[in-house]
Amino acid sequence: MLEGHILLDEALCEFEKLYIKKALARHKQHLSNTAAVLGIHRNTLAKRVATYKNQDSPQKGAKVTPLKKAAYR
């Protein structure tokens, strides 16, 4: 990745996007179950999914910052 000059923020965002997509597929697109497994709120997951859909459209969406590490309970 370093040869391609990908910034860390871009790499983290892409990783998070793929990670969330795989988690959603594993839980049959069920937001609440997926959010619980990821350790984030359902609304946060819904916002991320909406942002990723906007990024995939011809009009590029706003830049996504990676989620903060969830606090362990």
Q: Is residue 73 over pLDDT 60?
A: no
Q: 19-60: per-residue pLDDT in tens?
A: 999 999 999 999 999 999 999 999 999 999 999 988 877 654
pLDDT range class, residue 6, cuts 50, 70, 90: confident
pLDDT range class, residue 61, cuts 50, 70, 90: very low
In the chain, where the domains are located = 29-55
37-61: burial string, b at 16+ Cβ within 10 Å, e else? ebebeeeebeebbebbeeeeeeeee
